[in-house]
Chain A
Amino acid sequence: MSHANPHIPAHELLLAAEGELSARRALQIDQHLGDCAICRERKEQLECLAAGAFRAYRSESDPAVCSDSAARSALIAQMQEISGRRKHPYWLPRMSQAIEPRALALVFGLLLLTGIGINVLPRLMSSRHAVSESEFAFGPVVPNASLTPGAVRAISVGQVCTLESPAETAQIPPSVKKMVFHEYGMDGAPALNYEVDHLITPALGGTDDIRNLWPEPYSSEWNARVKDQLENRLHELVCEGELDLATAQHDIASNWISAYRKYFHTDRPLPADSKLMNPLPASRRIRQLMMDEPRGELIAAIPEVANDFGDYSHPMGAL
């Protein structure tokens, strides 16, 4: 101990009380506290201050902390949904218990009418905005937000725009793909008909976290290849400074079909050779030009094969 200051530093008093000092140092402090009234008083002051601060903190927030029973039930139900042990949304049984049957029927009737009003009538009036109902027969064209909200890593625009190595976005392991199918209640679905796709593409900072993956169908109108077009478009916009990365991530994660419509100014997927679309970002186009011509044409026509990141597999295999 320094002769200049014979007393115990405050942080050591705290660490000693926490039992986080060496036995030797703890013993020294204990002995010192036995002899030094100033240090004993200081320790009590710190304890008193801590108690006052903690009480103030808890009193501030306590009224906002509401009953946790509903949240607890929701958590249990959500875990069961994730585990695939619950076939219907977790809120349905609670709702049906809480509301008497006639009221429930009325509510569902109103919901049905509202649904018809909101969803069906506009589609009947304008087919341009329709995502065909039959598309859902192929699988989830957009992911379930509770299972696949999207996940990103910390990445800068500079890194996004220089990301070229396929090694940075390794293939998704079969076990994870299997888990994704399982979470979506699609065990046994023919894997070749789906791409276990990143909601936020790794090219925009998306990760291989299961929360960023879902089984995207190849067969529907809004399919995995169409989404690849959007990914390329967003990447290009970000790298050309026309769109910030966070907005690109947010838009593709919120609803990629809406994002497609927004960024391609169209209501339907564009053909791969559309002049409205640059199927590949600039860096890829340059590499494509370096390839021999017949192969280059082929790659331009099949966007998923042109994917540099190696994380999308074509059902027919690599060329």
Chain B
Amino acid sequence: MSDSDFLIDLSLLHVRPAEAALPESRAEVENEVVGLFDQYRNRILRYVLSMGLCAHDAEDVSQEVFLSLFRHLRLGRPRQNLPGWIFRVAHNLALKQRQFVQKHQTHRDTALDLPENRADSSGDPEEQLADRERRKRLLAAMRALPERDQWCLYMRAEGLSYREIANALGMSLGAVANSLVRSFERLERVDGR
């Protein structure tokens, strides 16, 4: 299955015109976007990094997400479930960028270091080692999950509600819950080894 199969139809987000907010002044919209940027930028960056983008592309995508949000709000488009909208746009842009990179480059460094390369600042060395080993196992298991399950898991890790994830990925609430259960059960098997 190609990445484009997972592209989400943004029009699904549109609500009835009656629910759309009136356009606000530019300054109000700018302030709102900056507020959402402060709240979500690092989460978006981490999420798109987890989708395999390099740091530079992830920065570009996250910046584009908030510019798109600015345009979206300036045009007075629906502001229902903005966290879901933000993640959905980030998800789509990251997929497109990933497709582009895959098409044009055979190899590219990813920004994600392996956890074993990171220093752990506290605790007993044996505990640190065990903790690192566990994280390694869990990360390897997470990367082996089907992509859609990974996205659900990562969005949940970024603090999105089930409803927001469902909206962002175009799934039902039940499908989100089932995806998370599947992931947890697989992680459990790996963790219990």
Contacts and interface: CB of A to CB of B under 8 A. Distances in A.
B71 A49 contact: no
Given A65-B46, A83-B26, A53 B55 contact: no
Contacts of A15: 162, 173-174, 177
Interface residues of B, number: 55
A154 interface: yes
Contacts of B115: 56, 59-60
A72 interface: yes
Interface in B1-48: 4, 7, 26, 29-30, 33-34, 37-38, 41-42, 45-46
A179 B62 CA distance: 24
A258 interface: no
B181 A11 contact: yes
A82 B181 contact: no
13 contacts: A12-B177, A18-B162, A49-B187, A50-B184, A52-B191, A53-B157, A60-B50, A64-B49, A68-B38, A71-B59, A72-B34, A75-B66, A83-B30
A128 interface: no
A53 B184 contact: yes
B67 A75 contact: yes
Given A14-B180, A45-B188, A79 B70 contact: yes
Give the interface SS of chain B, mostly helix, strand, loop or mixed. helix
B130 interface: no
A110 interface: no
Interface of A: 10-12, 14-15, 18, 20, 45-46, 49-50, 52-66, 68, 71-72, 74-76, 78-80, 82-83, 85, 154, 210-211, 246
A85 B26 contact: yes
Contact of A53 (B7, B41, B63, B142): B142
Contacts, number: 136
Interface string B105-136: 00000011101001000000000000000110
B59 to A, nearest CB: 7
B154 interface: yes
A56 B67 contact: no
Contact of B178 (A11, A46, A55): A11
A258 B1 CA distance: 34
B77 to A, nearest CB: 12
Contacts of A54: 156-157
Contacts of B63: 71, 74-75, 78
Given A57-B157, A65-B42, 10 more contacts: A18-B162, A53-B153, A53-B187, A61-B50, A64-B112, A65-B49, A71-B37, A72-B38, A75-B34, A154-B7
A262 B66 CA distance: 35
B67 A82 contact: yes
A58 B50 CA distance: 10
Contacts of B174: 11, 15
The 9 closest A-B pairs by CB, nearest first: A54-B157, A11-B177, A61-B46, A56-B138, A56-B135, A64-B111, A10-B181, A57-B157, A49-B184
Contacts of A58: 46, 157
A170 B34 CA distance: 34
B177 A14 contact: yes
B22 to A, nearest CB: 15
